Structure 1
Amino acid sequence: ATSVRRGLRSTLRLGNRLAEEWWRQGIAWRAMRRGEVVVFDRHFFADYHAYDIAGTDLPLSRRLHGFLLAHAYPKPDLVIYLDAPPEVLLARKGEGTIEALARRRQDYLSLAAVTTSFEVVDATRTLDEVTSEVIALIRAFEQRHGAMATTS
């Protein structure tokens, strides 16, 4: 009975995660059809890539989630990673450890190998400088590719 309950909880968590991901993607598609640029704080593909897609020795629900993200869920057209050393991040947020933040930083930087447009912005600078560079990168991407793709 315990393994059945664990399996049921795992299935429900997976269903909830997939529903949230597709709901947010639907909102993004709607905005894109109106000609708006959509910016995700973090994209599901990026958040789960190191764990559910590239991870090994995972439970079935995580492997299934990774497979769906890798093969069915739209990838971002452009990834802009706001990069800062773990020490800076820890000082700013006061959450996590240097080791965990360094590991997560490497996870995000590894996305450069699996995304078509990956940019790194030095986030140790002022908010105005970072914001200006992000806006410039988005505008440059739009100029190179025309309007953002409507499928992702």
Structure 2
Amino acid sequence: MIHYEDLAVEQVDLFGPVEVTAEAVVDFARRYDPQRFHLSDEGARDTYFGRLAASGWHTAALTMKLMMTGREAPLASLGSPGLDDLRWHRPVYPGDRLSVEVTVTDKRVSRSRPEMGLVHFGIATLNQDEVVVMSFNTVSMVARRDAGSDDR
């Protein structure tokens, strides 16, 4: 497990890639975001996208999966109180290959729960051309290996 003490401010990790398929785009859209531009090329033709495009929520789900499965060992995550500044910068299309860049921007031991630390991450999801397609900031509650230590 990767604990609070194993993460350093300014540490950058890159996870992926994963290829986005048309089948996955349509399946996700049917289940969770059934807008016409997420369901078919025909439905997207006269829209901003011009062709089938992945839901931003699909992109977010793929990002989360890469962040949780891309490490050599699992993060000792205790959940998250939320995220800020979610932005979808560019459309994601079938055939795109997404990677996720995760930067530790800050961290501190919880005052009320010393068995965990709060780790701030900057997240950037990039396509195969290294263009940012989505970004957000989040805070994760991460277990400490030794709650009695003074490791900050």
> Could you tell me the TM-score, scaled by structure 2's length?
0.25
Structure having the higher helix fraction is 1
Structure having the higher strand fraction is 2
> Could you tell me the TM-score, scaled by structure 1's length?
0.25
